[in-house]
Amino acid sequence: MPGFEIFGEEEKKEIMDVLDTGVLFRYEFGEQRKGIYKVKEFEEKFAHYCNSSFGQAVTSGSTALKVALTALGIGPGDEVITQGFTFVATWEAILEVGAIPVFCEVDSTLNMDPADLLKKITQKTKCIIPVHMLGAPARIKEIVAIADKNQIPVLEDTAQAAGARIDGKHLGSFGRCGTFSFDSVKTMTTGEGGMIITDDEELWKSMSEYHDHGHDHKVNPGARGGEGRRFIGFNYRMMELQGAIGLAQLAKLNGIVAAQQKNKAQLKEAVSAIPGVSFRTLIDEQGDSATFLTFTLQDRQHCSKVNDSLKADGCGAINFAENSWHFYPKWEHLLEAKSPVRTGYPFNEPGGKKRIVYDPKALPQSAALLERTLVYPIPIKMDSNRLAVMSQALQKASLI
């Protein structure tokens, strides 16, 4: 699945363009850089690829979420609804801006359940973050319709679904903005790095300024350091080497998705031999980025027995109900309100009063689904020998 599988001469050339200038910083040094602005070019080409108007590159998918939430004006006193099956960064970003995460069930898409979303909306809800988990879309059209009816902006967490679409429209482009991750195990990678896309120019301007200490980036006689500032910001800038790698990887993204779709189809055929198996609901199978194959067994015991057999043959799958990074009941630091801050913030008010208390059993629908679900990451390159080994292991597991 990760883009590092196909690092090659294209990435090297883009990197050497930067090293030949000696400029790693994304701004300024106009004479020295010889017209080479890799991050700016990456932003423009990624936005164009997604049929969006603006792209804002940042240091990670995690900071993309924080920058986007801040630009949307989300802060203390606000609630943000997201799903209980996601990477921890989604709700970490919500806490980072001072808002309170509210967790929603997932349905057979393994993404946000619109029915449960309706139950979770309150007067304090100021943003909704559906997550396109494991490379496939949430019911984003339904979610946006609900959000629009309640005048709440949608921020799409598309960290794991670069290149995925619904009816040809890119995930990340349905809401007010969409965030992406390019870390070391993503479909396309820059090692670390992230992107936000939007059609809203004013929102993009705020993101652009906030991610660079509030600098307005207007041409001015003072050059760097002479900019004005509308508000405070922080440093979440992507550097030129990351932008360079991103350009090379973006040019390969359609090919990456096509290869993953082919490999996934072959592996799915082998998994289909297991009695009683079912597969996650795909809103648009042709638009699936195919970064993961997800299959659900009859019950928790069946799931455990199948995976034990697969592990014995060196082909174990991921059970996210046991994973401490991605599923609500396993986030002990959230559930137990662990904080390095003296006052206990963000879980406590300065005086010690609790702000947030989470029930580990709050998402029974998600738990019942994920405890019997197994996942295989899909590589870009999968040789026939490995496929044969996995097929044989799955055939053996089907007899359990």
Residue-wise pLDDT for 296-319, tens only, equals 999 999 999 999 999 999 999 999
Instruction: Write down the mean pLDDT value for the chain.
Output: 95
In the block, tokens 């609500």 appear at: 328
Q: Please give the C-alpha separations between residue 163 and each of 191, 253, 349, in angstroms, as whole numbers.
A: 18, 7, 41
CATH number of 3-253: 3.40.640.10
Digit-coded pLDDT (tens) for 55-74: 999 999 999 999 999 999 99
pTM assigned to the model: 0.96
Digit-coded pLDDT (tens) for 233-273: 999 999 999 999 999 999 999 999 999 999 999 999 999 99
Identical fold at 3-253 and 254-397? no
Rounded mean pLDDT of 98-110?
A: 98
| Cα dihedral sign, 284-290-291-297 | positive
Q: Which fold has domain 254-397?
A: Aspartate Aminotransferase, domain 1 (3.90.1150)
C-alpha 241/C-alpha 353 separation (Å) is 45
Q: Which residue(s) pair with 83 in the sheet?
A: 104
The number of CA neighbours under 13 Å toward the Cβ of 119 is: 10
- pLDDT for residue 223 is more than 80: no
Active site residues: 186
Sequence length of the chain is 400
pLDDT exceeding 70 applies to what percent of the chain? Answer: 99
Domain boundaries, the chain: 3-253, 254-397
The number of CA neighbours under 13 Å toward the Cβ of 64 is: 31
